[in-house]
Amino acid sequence: MANPFLGQILGSVLGGAMGRSRGGSETGGGFPSGMGGMGGMGGMGGMGGLGSILGGVLGAGGSRGGLGGRNAMLALLLPLAMQWVQRNGGIGNVLQRVNQRGYGRQANSWVGTGDNEPLDPGAIDEMVGRDEVMRMSQQLGLPEQDVKDGFAEILPEMVNQLSPEGRIPQDADQVLDAGQSTLDGMLAELNRQRSPV
């Protein structure tokens, strides 16, 4: 069920942000394997291997209308999911919401060091909100079901990557903010590179 691409992209983005917020290197050094994956953040405007993989995935279909499969959809949805977490009070508040909706067991598994329990895409309407799902769907030009499926995959992995030691650190929201900025920059740079001159 786990998507290695999603783990790598989030591990690289958030691992790099954790390393910077705690005085580490930009590669997210000192974190468990996977946290600074794909060759760190150096090169290609601070993107390194991550930028190459994102570019390959997003470029697989050429234009926006021909996206390169599920991984491309996840890469495009990821910044919107991160923004949603930030707008809803940060990762702690989002986990509280997940618990209140009856998915506490799943949420605990995402924070813990074992396997992540999947989140049913049907839970996304009640957790994220139907209007928000529709907005993301329109913004990305994707069916609502794809947005729900993708969000149900992204949220557990995001929490998992923010809690490498089995707990949510105090600076998790700052890490998320920094990761959001990094990812936005990467996607903007890739869009510039793909746009005709």
**pLDDT tens-digit readout, 13-25:** 777 666 655 554 4
Distance (Å, rounded) from C-alpha 90 to C-alpha 93? 6
The 10s digit of each residue's pLDDT in 37-89 is 333 333 333 444 555 555 555 554 443 443 457 788 888 899 899 999 999 99
- CB atoms < 10 A from the CB of 197, how many? 3
Domain count along the chain? 1
Full residue range of the structural domain in which residue 51 is found: 4-194
- pLDDT in the model for residue 192: 77
User: Among 73-82, 130-139, 179-188, which range has the highest average pLDDT?
Assistant: 130-139
Q: What is the mean pLDDT of the chain?
A: 76
- CB atoms < 10 A from the CB of 24, how many? 16
Q: CATH number for the domain including 9?
A: 1.10.10.690
Q: Would you call 190 helix, strand, or coil by DSSP?
A: helix
